[in-house]
Amino acid sequence: MLTLPLIENLFAQHGTAYYGGEDISQTAHALQCALLAEQAGESEALIVAALLHDVGHLMLAESSTTDMRHQETGADALSTLFGADVTEPIRLHVAAKRYLCAVDAAYFDTLSPVSVHSLELQGGIYGRDEAEAFAARPHALEAVRLRRYDDLAKVVDLETPPLAHYLEMAGRCLRAAA
């Protein structure tokens, strides 16, 4: 079962690995994503979701040729700590990429080569019916915003607040029973 100290440990042990084929680490990507959400004035829940959206990568030994569904792994593990306002944008952030490619003709051209490759592994661009079904889901709009932060959070050497800043915020978002 995940705890905030265990999440901090996951970042310490595995966060220094490069984020896919990008030129930044997993931790740098997570912190940049959270910073973008914070700068946009998002709720603490969505900022925490931005920070933790790829925690599944830290939990899995992923292959570059297989989609290990890190979004499901992360959201499921985090559901013992957080409510749907944190976990569902995480669960849907991959689907949001597929959706955005379907509804925004210019979006695909903004994706990095690594994101284009992972899009193929994740099932490709949604068809019209799939896109409509995604848009009707609870938390779809938050997932789309998270996806856009995710896409932008790949700047080498960008200064961000430390992990502790966002883990403190995560502590305020914990389920009452956690």
Q: What is the mean pLDDT of each run of 10 residues along the chain (178 residues)?
A: 92 82 88 98 98 88 54 89 97 96 94 88 94 98 97 94 97 80
Write the pLDDT tens digit of every residue in 104-151: 989 999 988 888 988 998 899 999 999 999 999 999 999 999 999 999
Give the separation between CA 17 and CA 78, rounded to whole angstroms: 21
Could you give all domains of the chain from N- to C-terminal order, each with its CATH number? 25-173 (1.10.3210.10)
Place of tokens 């933790």: 52
Supply angle C-alpha 73, 77, 82, rounded to 5: 125
CB-based contact 143:88 (threshold 8 Å): yes
Q: How far apart are CA 88 and CA 74, in angstroms?
A: 10
Query: Tens digits of per-residue pLDDT, 112-124?
Result: 888 898 899 889 9
The closest alpha carbon to 33, from 80, 113, 93, 77, belongs to: 93
Do the beta carbons of residue 77 and residue 60 sit within 8 Å? Answer: no
